[in-house]
Chains A and B, each alone.
Chain A
Amino acid sequence: MATRLKPVDVVLVGFGWTASIIAQELTEEGVQVLALERGVDRATVPDFATTHIQDELKYAVRNGLFQAPMRETLTFRNTRDQVALPMRHLGSFRPGAGVGGAGVHWNGQTWRFLPDDFIWRSHTEERYGAGFIPADLTIQDWGVTYDDLEPYYDRFEYLCGVSGKAGNLQGSKQSEGNPFEGARKREYPLPPLERSVGSLMFDKAAKEMGYQPFAAPAANTSRPYLNPLGVQMGQCTYCGFCEWFGCGNYSKASPQSTILPVLLKKDNFSYRTGCDVTKVLLDNTGKKAKSVIYRDLEGREYEQPAQLVILCAFAQHNVHLLLLSGIGEPYNPFTNTGVTGRNYAYQITSSVEAFVDELINPYMGAGALGQAIDEFNGDNFDHGPEGFIGGGYIALWTTGGRPILQHHLPKDAPKWGAGWKKAMAENYLKSVAISTHGSVVSQRGAYLDLDPNYKDIYGNPMLRLTFDFHANDYKMSAFLTDKAEGIAKAMKPRSIDVKKRKGPYSIIPYQTTHNTGGAVMGDDPRTSVVNRYLQSWDVHNVFVVGACNFPQNAGYNPTGTVGALAYWAADAIRSMYLKNPGPLVQA
């Protein structure tokens, strides 16, 4: 029997980026906000101190900051005719756990999606005709536009102290910036990071190929920075321990380095760690949530009543909770009806490793230190002759040179033995990788539902992931990889190794933690779980926030858009919902 706790105004499930942003915004309205975090407490001091955080084995190899599958995992299969099996240890993606969530261990690559990305279906049909989109794709418009989100992208970038160079200031093209980006109202808060050797080589080669390379936007501060909340960040030291690690230098934007010093001082905010939320309880009408149920680390069950429930957990976790709570009709891939779990998508990546004569010193880096081109992203090029939709960016990142996981070897190097050793000595300081980072369509065969065989530690059905990349995405990724190979060759390396993404999708090698969809946003309750303000169509006092809202995935890293959506939803709740609780959009 669950212990019933004192009601709060707002309960947030999870305490990462989206919960921190929403808590900061809603507490400004004077409401009482509580965040429930499944993982441990974490703060810059002592948890990310440089005296112990720069430990590749503990954090990057043994997954020190991430979700432990022993406590929580999902089952996976490529196709509906297979039996899904548990992901027994982390591989393809690594969801964060603990205060700060994935905002602790991300790289800081902070992109805005292109204006056309938000209207992918309507734009594609208008430019290429409806028949151009394969019939089994379920891509759709977002229900918000780039112009709607521009002020919220801006807020997130200024919160984080993003280092970059505008390419399009209020419609006026700027040199050295990304010429393809949507119009932005103002310049980035900080200038770009210093370039690495690799960045300069990529820049030169890309220009020779006729492209317009630019410094990728980085939530790694190129200068000391005081953010609008009055939180001071330090200048990045290029220590090369960003992704998989917390930042001990207050340089990588995270909830800890941008919001929590202000939020945690507020009397109307509190949080609890070690709390696994297992269900949102609805009242007897089924139209309103009354509380959430959670378990503590000793398995004790609590009921936390709240006026407003906001799901801010990692993408798949939000969807799992919706399914366990009976919010939204579960998606049925056979009939293509229902919404919860629909339109799961991911990111398709590939790389071209180049072995060069120049001394690269790869260990001097930052998570979002990179040079990129956007010529082949979104609909920045004519897809007509190519026969696929979507695209991605091509970049050379210098995120660090951690020896176990970040060394590159030529493809003819022996796998082990004396030859391996020699190749390591010859190539570690003299190799770079150009990566491609592509969009992934949504399709009928890719979705999340409840597993019929495997139960989680509380006896609830595990989440089941059914996914493979679509033929469209393999085609698109091969196209991008060819372009990347062209740039790599222009760098005049000793040799290259082209690593195309080949199918089927595997849960094993790490690819990216850019899992999207399952609780998508939109204008039509038949094809979306939440409306354009991220409010459940069925249960008006439940909001769902995160990459699970993406109707399909664009060719960029998701966090910039996730941050913008969190501000967008918080603004709708502040300005509309709290004053007049009820559906913000009539179905």
Chain B
Amino acid sequence: MNTRAKYEHVFACLSMAGSEVSNQRSRNEPHGASGLSRRRFVQAALALPVVSALAACSEKTKPVQVGRIFFSADEYKFVKAATARLIPGTADDPGALQADVPFFIDMQLAGPYGRADRWYMEGPWADGTEQQGYQLKETPAQLYRKAIAAINDHCRSQYGKVYADLSEQQQDQVLHDMDDNKIKLKDFPAQAFFAILWQNTQEGFLSDPMYGGNRNFAGWKLIGFPGPRYNYVDEITKYGKPYALPPVGLMGRDGSVLNL
């Protein structure tokens, strides 16, 4: 598999979050027979190519260089710098960078979530009240693209450098200013972008490693979550006892399809 093919393969696995298999059938036949289950699965696989890629996802892949699909180099620099302030870390005490959160966000924005595939995105558009929720025209991916450029512009005019080149203290100040809406962006409030950036950062730190973040279970180890284990019948009544087994992901002990 060449590098590009590998990306497509990984992306097919990752993009399953947020996708929906759609089908239509008329059925009036016995249910529960194994033949039927197999047929259902084959139908689903034919209907949606990414499902057929799933079977291949579990195979061991050789290490690949973590790159980017959605972000430009400058955008990626911003996201790395910002997420490193949101969840700081070191090699011994992993944070967003060590957990590959920027890579996770890149993959998410390149997929159905970034495109707002499931959201209602038709006009007419109006600002609405706070209680009426999200009323921006931008998809999450568009929000990042516009906001990063605008915040880098702000940083250049305020500090003479782009965000990634500021001191940590200045970077924190810019994040606070975004959250407090003290930075004015043209198309939407800075707070809207901060909210989505912080949400996606937490997702990348705490979701199953198969999505590319939470590398080596960094987030789960920090808090003590053992992963999606199936059975606690024996443990539920062992009150006050720590759970002994190490974290496991949906893809197993390695956690990641990337095997980085």
Interface residues of A (CB under 8 A from B): 40-41, 43, 45-46, 50-52, 54-58, 61-64, 68-70, 73, 76-78, 82-89, 91, 194-197, 200, 235, 237-241, 249, 260-261, 264-265, 267, 269-275, 296-297, 358-359, 361, 363-364, 401, 403-404, 407, 415-418, 420-421, 424-425, 428-429, 453-454, 504-508
The docked-state distance in angstroms from the alpha carbon of A239 to that of B24 is: 32
CB distance from B42 to the nearest CB of A (A): 11
A239-B229 contact given A51-B250, A55-B17, A58-B16, CB 8 Å threshold: yes
5 closest A-B pairs by beta carbon, nearest first, are A274-B24, A54-B228, A264-B31, A428-B223, A270-B28
Tally of A-B residue pairs with Cβ under 8 A? 223
- Contacting residues, chain B, for A91 (C-beta < 8 A): 133
What residues on B are CB-neighbors of A82 within 8 Å?
A: 129
Contacts of A43 in B (CB 8 A): 31, 37, 40
| Complex alpha-carbon distance, A43 and B113, angstroms | 25
**Contacting pair A404 B207 (CB below 8 A):** yes
Interface residue B64 (Cβ < 8 Å from any Cβ of A):
no
State whether A420 touches B224 (Cβ < 8 A). Answer: no
Report the minimal beta-carbon distance from A91 to chain B, rounded to whole angstroms. 6
With A54-B250, A273-B24, A506-B131 as contacts: A417 and B86 at CB distance below 8 Å: yes
Distance between B214 CB and nearest chain A CB, rounded to angstroms: 9
In residues 114-166 of chain B, which contact A (Cβ within 8 Å)? 116-122, 124, 126, 128-135
Chain B residues lying within 8 Å of A86, measured Cβ to Cβ, are 120, 122
Closest-by-CB residue of A relative to B54 is: A52
A195 and B237 CA atoms in complex are apart in Å by 7
Answer yes or no: B174 CB below 8 A from chain A CBs: no
Chain B positions within 8 Å of A249 at CB level: 230
Q: How large is the interface on B (under 10, 10 to 19, 20 to 34, 35 or more residues)?
A: 35 or more
- Annotate B234-254 by CB proximity to A: 1 below 8 A, 0 otherwise: 011101111100000010000
Secondary structure at the A interface, as helix, strand, loop or mixed, is: loop
Are A403 and B219 in touch, CB under 8 angstroms? yes
Interface centre among B31, B116, B133, B231 (most CB of A within 10 A): B133
Minimum CB–CB distance for B24 against chain A, Å: 3
* CB of B23 within 8 Å of the partner chain: yes
Q: Say whether B17 contacts A429, CB under 8 Å.
A: no
Closest to B95 in A: A421
B70 within 8 A of A: no
Contact B133 A69 (CB under 8 A): no
Binds A, one of B3-11, B73-81, B198-206: B198-206
Q: How far is the CA of A89 from the CA of B31 in the complex (A)?
A: 34
Contact flags B153-186 to A (C-beta < 8 A → 1, else 0): 0000000000000000000100100010000000
Contact of B24 among A62, A296, A359, A505 (CB under 8 A): A296
Question: When the two chains form their complex, are residues B133 and A508 in contact, meaning their CB atoms are under 8 A apart?
Answer: yes
Residue B193 at the chain A interface, CB threshold 8 Å: no
Q: Which residues of B contact A41 (CB under 8 A)?
A: 23, 25, 40
Contact of B230 among A55, A235, A237, A274 (CB under 8 A): A237
Contact of B53 with A by CB under 8 A: no
Q: Which of A89, A235, A264, A418 contacts B119 (CB 8 A)?
A: A89
Q: Across the interface, do A83 and B236 meet the contact criterion of CB distance under 8 Å?
A: no
Contact (Cβ within 8 A) A78 B129: yes
Name the CB-closest residue of A to B38: A46
Tell me, in angstroms, the Cα distance from A532 to B203 when the chains sit together.
47
- The CA of A89 and the CA of B111, in the complex, are separated in Å by 17
B68: Cβ under 8 A from any A Cβ:
no
Say which residue of B26, B30, B236 sits within 8 Å of A264 (CB atoms). B30
Residues on A with C-beta less than 8 A from B91 are: none
B32 close to A (CB within 8 Å): yes
For A424, what are the chain B residues with a Cβ–Cβ distance below 8 Å?
222-223
B residues whose Cβ falls under 8 Å from a Cβ of A: 16-18, 20-32, 37, 40-41, 44, 85-89, 95, 113, 116-122, 124, 126, 128-135, 172, 175, 179, 198, 201-203, 206-208, 211, 219-220, 222-226, 228-233, 235-237, 239-243, 250
A-B pairs with beta carbons under 8 Å apart, 28 shown = A40-B20, A43-B31, A46-B40, A46-B41, A55-B250, A57-B17, A62-B18, A64-B18, A70-B118, A70-B119, A73-B120, A78-B129, A89-B116, A200-B239, A249-B230, A261-B31, A272-B26, A272-B27, A273-B25, A274-B22, A274-B25, A297-B23, A404-B206, A420-B86, A421-B87, A428-B225, A507-B131, A508-B133
Chain A residues with Cβ below 8 Å from B95 are 421
Closest to B32 in A: A261
Nearest CB of B to A278, in Å: 15
A269 contacts B28, C-beta separation under 8 Å: yes
Inside 8 A of B20's CB, which chain A residues have their CB?
Answer: 40, 64, 68
Chain A, residue nearest B111 (CB)? A62
Residues of B within 8 A of A240 (CB): 232
* CB-defined contacts of B116 to chain A, threshold 8 Å: 89
Contact B24 A56 (CB under 8 A): no
Complex Cα distance, B29 from A239, in Å, reads 33
B254 vs chain A, min Cβ distance (A): 15
> Which of A46, A83, A85, A264 has the most B CB atoms < 10 Å from its CB?
A85
Give the residues in chain B near A269, CB-CB below 8 Å.
28
Contact A273 B233 (CB under 8 A): no
Given known A-B contacts A78-B129, A359-B242, A50 and B230 have beta carbons under 8 A apart: yes
CA distance A76 to B121 in the complex (A): 15
Which A-chain residue is minimally distant from B243 (CB atoms)? Answer: A361
Contact A56 B232 (CB under 8 A): no
Extra A-B contacts (13), CB below 8 Å, given A425-B224, A453-B124, A508-B133 = A62-B18, A62-B118, A76-B133, A88-B119, A88-B120, A235-B233, A264-B31, A265-B32, A403-B206, A403-B207, A404-B207, A417-B88, A454-B122
Contact B27 A270 (CB under 8 A): yes
- Min C-beta distance of B209 to chain A, whole Å: 11
Q: Determine if B208 and A57 form an interchain contact, defined as CB atoms under 8 angstroms apart.
A: yes
From A61, A85, A235, contact of B128 by CB (8 A): A85
With contacts A506-B130, A507-B132 taken as known, whether A359 is within 8 angstroms of B208 at the C-beta atoms is no
- Given the interface pairs A56-B208, A85-B128, the reply to whether A197 lies near B222 with Cβ below 8 Å is no
In the complex, which residues of chain A have a beta carbon less than 8 angstroms from the beta carbon of B126?
83, 85
Task: Report A-chain residues with C-beta under 8 Å of the C-beta of B237.
Answer: 194-195
Residues of B within 8 A of A403 (CB): 206-207, 219-220, 223, 225
B132 adjacent to A239 (CB under 8 Å): no
The answer on a CB contact under 8 Å between B203 and A61 is yes
Q: Which A residues are CB-close (under 8 A) to B203?
A: 57, 61, 404
Residues in chain A near residue B211, CB distance under 8 A: 57
In the bound complex, how far is the Cα of B80 from the Cα of A235, in angstroms?
Answer: 45
Give the contacting residue for B87; candidates A51, A404, A420; CB below 8 A. A420
A418 to B96, CA, bound (A): 11
User: What is the bound-complex CA distance between A89 and B136, given in angstroms?
Assistant: 11
Residue of A nearest to B221 (CB): A425
Given contacts A235-B233, A237-B230, contact A89 B134 (CB under 8 A): yes
- Name the residue of chain B whose CB is nearest to the CB of A196: B236
A380 to B26, CA, bound (A): 49
Q: How far is the CB of B136 from chain A (nearest CB, A)?
A: 8
User: Are the C-beta atoms of A197 and B134 separated by less than 8 Å?
Assistant: no
> Which chain A positions have C-beta within 8 A of B219?
403
Across-interface contacts of B201 in A (CB, < 8 A): 416
**What's the nearest-Cβ distance from chain B to residue A44, in Å?**
10
User: Would B236 and A404 count as touching, CB distance under 8 A?
Assistant: no
Question: B18: which A residues are within 8 A, CB to CB?
Answer: 58, 62, 64
Q: How far is the CA of A50 from the CA of B227 in the complex (A)?
A: 12
Residue on A nearest B226 in the bound complex, by CB: A363
Report A-chain residues with C-beta under 8 Å of the C-beta of B28.
267, 269-270
Give Cα distance in the complex from A270 to B121, angstroms.
35
Which single member of B41, B124, B132, B135 contacts A77 (CB below 8 Å)? B132
How far is it, in angstroms, between the C-alpha of A87 and the C-alpha of B120 when the chains are bound? 7
